[in-house]
């Protein structure tokens, strides 16, 4: 069943749409959830995601259904971490946002929507041009909120190397964004 057909089921309030959603994307979303949470919590989080999708479609009609679900799931997962008083992790998420915010010039210069749109575009093009290993490090750090140590263990390298790689990428990203804005 295509994404459009699933969305049509949602628009017609046909609950089989949820089952189809689970059938189509359950495994992939669970895997992403496990990037944040324990297996048990991941299953609950994915179920919360189905419910949230049911409550938001309509009025939402996502163009990329899986990406839409993944963002819901990420927010649910982060909220769950905060709710469980995983202070270290939630503090880290804020720190991460500040870390990446350094790459973005003062948003007052643009409207916020423009800043959001243009930087997202630059960011994805930047990631596309990077090597898969660097890209994974970046996404693990900023999307999944992994620590330097966790990333280093995953790649079998030192924490220093991870920090160095990510710092270099942030500087390059900032330069690329500035360059694109000036063009």
CB of 152 to another protein, least distance (A): 9
Pick 60 or 133: Cβ nearer another protein: 133
- Local structure of 121: helix, strand or coil: helix
CB of 85 to another protein, least distance (A): 20
CB of 168 to another protein, least distance (A): 18
User: Which stretches within 36-158 are classed as H helix?
Assistant: 39-56, 65-83, 87-101, 112-129, 132-142, 148-155
Q: Give residues with Cβ within 8 angstroms of 3, minimum separation 6.
A: 24, 64, 65, 66
CB of 21 closer than 8 Å to CB of 53: yes
Long-range Cβ contacts of 83-90 (<8 Å, 24+ apart): 89/145
CB of 41 closer than 8 Å to CB of 80: yes
CB of 178 closer than 8 Å to CB of 118: no
Pick 55 or 112: Cβ nearer another protein: 112
Binding stretches for another protein (CB under 8 A) = 1-3, 5, 8-9, 14-16, 19, 22-24, 26-28, 30-32, 35, 39, 43, 64-67, 70-71, 74-75, 94, 97-98, 100-101, 104, 107, 112, 115-116, 119-120, 123-124, 127-128, 132-133, 135-136, 139-140, 142-144, 153-157
CB of 146 to another protein, least distance (A): 9
Q: What are the tokens at 76?
A: 């649910």
CB of 182 to another protein, least distance (A): 20
């Amino acid at each position: 069943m295509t994404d459009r057909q699933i969305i049509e089921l949602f628009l017609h309030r046909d609950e089989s749409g949820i089952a189809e959603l689970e059938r189509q994307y359950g495994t992939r979303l669970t895997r992403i959830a496990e990037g944040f949470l324990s297996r048990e919590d991941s299953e609950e989080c994915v179920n919360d995601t189905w419910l949230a999708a049911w409550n938001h479609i309509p009025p939402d009609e996502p163009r990329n259904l899986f990406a839409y679900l993944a963002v819901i799931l990420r927010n649910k997962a982060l909220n769950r971490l905060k709710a469980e008083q995983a202070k270290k992790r939630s503090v880290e998420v804020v720190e991460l946002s500040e870390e990446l915010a350094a790459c973005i010039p003062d948003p007052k210069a643009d409207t916020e929507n423009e800043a959001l749109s243009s930087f997202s575009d630059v960011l994805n093009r930047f990631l596309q041009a990077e090597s898969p290993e660097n890209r994974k490090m970046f996404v693990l750090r900023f999307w999944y909120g992994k620590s330097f140590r966790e990333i280093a263990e995953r790649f079998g390298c030192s924490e220093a190397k991870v920090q160095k790689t990510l710092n270099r990428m942030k500087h390059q990203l900032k330069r690329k964004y500035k360059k694109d804005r000036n063009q």
